[in-house]
A and B are shown apart, each in its own frame.
Chain A
Amino acid sequence: MSPHKLRAVLQALSPTSSTKDTGLNREKFRQAFRWMLLARLSEEKYANLYRAGKIQGGVFIGKGQEALSVSVGISLRKGDIFAPLIRDQAGRLAFGESLLDATRTYLGSRLGPMRGRDGNVHRGRPREGYFAMISHLGAMIPTVAGALLAKRFKGEKDFVGATCIGDGGTSTGAFHEGLNLAAVEKLPLVLVVANNHYAYSTPTSRQFVCADLVEKAAGYGVEGYSLDGTSLSECLEVVGNAVERARSGNGPQLIVATLLRLGGHGEHDDAHYIDEKLKQSEVGRDCLKLAEKFLLEKNWGTKAELDEWRADALRQIEDAVATAQREPHPDPNLDDWRPLATQHLSEGHHCE
């Protein structure tokens, strides 16, 4: 089965969808492309800052996964829930995260949403439906399911929750428990799997043996889709469709995108283990370059416009970095060091 062609693997369960009549919206494509570009360039900047020793901890970039990620963020709207994972800079921006929030978190600014208490991709604004991932893979799936359960309790209508995971994350118990629970409750959960062929260094042959991860959808009794994660138009269409299917009461949606991580697990990792044949295959194509080509061929944008968008993105990045770099880091003497919302119940410092 060619991985870059859209196919409704589970015909009985999936609504059919076709690349021929995309109904693809020019404006949406252009907007998505711009988020992808901003994500790619901002993460390149973070990687440079990391190599220059200006970022503590680590930098984990989504190079090669921007088309899929942006399609999730752009398909959601205010009132929805989004729990991104580590390679979702594009989706985060499209969902509404400011570049400054992201930059402040990477650079450890006290003014960022995590205030230096957590860093890099472990960031969010949960009150605004933008959940802050924990590192333990799969954990956000039941969490989003619970948020959707809450919205149902509160009588809200027309909401969706989306969360992203990788091929490695599908092996966790939390993935199974979360998707199954969402299916039992028929929740509007969109679970997006980026099969980027490696979990850190572990290839998919050591991760699972089914022909395609989307086969799991049948096991949970949910609708499933398999798609080419390097094609922005396909990602926008399939993810957008799944989000609307979830929104209109068709229960959880499992999306499996095939693509390749175009780099290491993080910037500390030289990714020497990635199979050269995969890199040279269609799976290894760069979604950003493909989207740019598509845009020009369709005449949905001009070269001059692309240059302008790139310059604009670089300006935004420079501004965000300059701002965050001027800001104070957290001060251990100013932190209250209390882990509880109920402050008076926090323990004192006995036996210190």
Chain B
Amino acid sequence: MSITYLEAIREAQAKALADDPRVYIYGQDVGNFGGAFKATKNLAKEFPGRVIDAPLSEDAIIGSAIGAAIEGMRPIIEMQYADFSTCGLNQIVNHAATLFWRTQVACPITIRLPSGGTAGSGPFHSQSMEALYATYPGLIVMTPATVEDVYSMLLEAVAIDDPVIFCEHKYLYYHLKAEALPTEALPTGKARIARPGRDITVVAYSAMVHEALAMAEELATEGTEVEVVDLRSVKPLDTDTVLASVARTGRLLAVGEAWPWGGVTAEVVARVACEGFDLLDAPPRRLNAKETPVPFHPNLWGTHRPTARSIAIAVRDILRQ
């Protein structure tokens, strides 16, 4: 048996619906159609009345989830694409994120964002929104990179009493397969050493973990041992695991698919510079997407985001210093 990243998302939702009567799924085309990516395939049939099509109203979709959460439900919201979540931004960042702080009433909603680029998707179906949400207090931002994590972290997201922005990567939907669903998982907020190495730390998350691993494989043939840290969640960000890795390697490259200004890679570098400056043998570096909207054409897109090849170039550069 093998299961894809996308199937794992579906299985996690099926389990959440089966285990907890407070859970329901709300989003565009999630009902009988099974979702734009089929992440809710057959769930409307298996759980009648609990997997509901929403109008094209992202603000109202999120707003209604907040009201339902106050009343004790645990909604899972599917934004059809992460990009469209900006139409619900106000409810996410000003309402869901502030509710507990202001009223002491928790807001347990899970907002699934089909994130990141795939060839041919263009400027409005490719965005990586994690940094935008991570900047707001009151939100948890998960960025699972593996089939096992997407399953266990989605279940954890539903169980957590706070709003969770769940950035699932569309590029991994069909590309990534595992033999079986996991029975245990790291706790939320804990990063994972995806590949141990002694020469340089490459911090990545979501689809970039796989580009980093491919790069590490290639550099291993040249005798360079790259340590790849998979952040798993960018908020909270596991600074301790990153610092421990840099303590071993003395070098840092932070890789993200999002845009360069600010963001997760900047946060990683800032924290290492503030808290572990003495551990560094060379200036830390960041590698992000290019500072333009995400291009449509595969030729452009393939260069817009970091790849194993561009990561390898950056790593070699740092190692020369």
Contact = CB atoms under 8 A, between A and B. Distances in A.
Interface residues of A, number: 50
A10 interface: no
A67 to B, nearest CB: 27
Given A345-B162, A347-B235, A347-B237, A150 B67 contact: yes
Interface of B: 24, 50, 54-55, 57, 59-73, 75, 90-91, 94-95, 97-103, 105-108, 137-138, 140, 160-162, 188-189, 235-237, 239, 270-271, 274-275
Contacts of A145: 60, 63-64, 67
Contact of A150 (B73, B97, B106, B270): B73
Interface in A124-158: 124-127, 131-132, 134-136, 138-151, 153-154
Contact of B106 (A180, A184, A341, A344): A341
Contact of B90 (A136, A151, A341): A136
B160 A345 contact: yes
Contacts of B55: 177, 180-181, 184
Nearest to A335: B101
Nearest to A142: B63
Given A139-B90, A146-B67, A177-B59, 16 more contacts: A136-B90, A136-B94, A138-B59, A139-B59, A142-B60, A142-B63, A145-B67, A146-B65, A147-B71, A150-B68, A150-B69, A154-B73, A178-B60, A181-B54, A350-B275, A351-B275
A122 B70 contact: no
Interface stretch (A20-28, A111-119, A227-235, A263-271): A111-119
Contacts of B235: 347
A205 interface: no
A219 interface: no
B32 to A, nearest CB: 16
Give 5 closest A-B pairs by Cβ, nearest first: A146-B64, A146-B67, A142-B63, A150-B71, A177-B60
Given A150-B68, A154-B71, A351 B270 contact: yes
Interface of A: 81, 113-114, 117-118, 122, 124-127, 131-132, 134-136, 138-151, 153-154, 173-174, 176-178, 180-181, 184, 339-342, 344-348, 350-351
Given A145-B67, A347-B235, A339 B138 contact: yes
Nearest to B23: A153
B232 to A, nearest CB: 13
A342 B162 contact: yes
Contact of B103 (A114, A142, A154, A177): A114
A297 B61 CA distance: 49
Contacts of B161: 340-342
21 contacts: A114-B103, A122-B102, A132-B103, A142-B60, A143-B64, A143-B91, A145-B60, A145-B64, A146-B64, A146-B69, A146-B71, A174-B59, A178-B59, A178-B60, A178-B63, A339-B98, A341-B100, A341-B106, A342-B140, A345-B188, A351-B270
A118 B274 CA distance: 33
A174 B274 contact: no
Contacts of B95: 134, 136, 139, 143
Q: Output the residue of B55, B70, B97, B99 with the most chain A CB within 10 A.
A: B70
A142 B54 CA distance: 12
Given A139-B90, A147-B70, A184-B55, A174 B102 contact: no
B73 A126 contact: no
Contacts of A150: 67-73
A341 B103 CA distance: 11
A111 B98 CA distance: 19
B64 A139 contact: no
A151 B103 contact: no
A151 B22 CA distance: 11
Given A180-B55, A341-B161, A345-B236, A139 B63 contact: yes
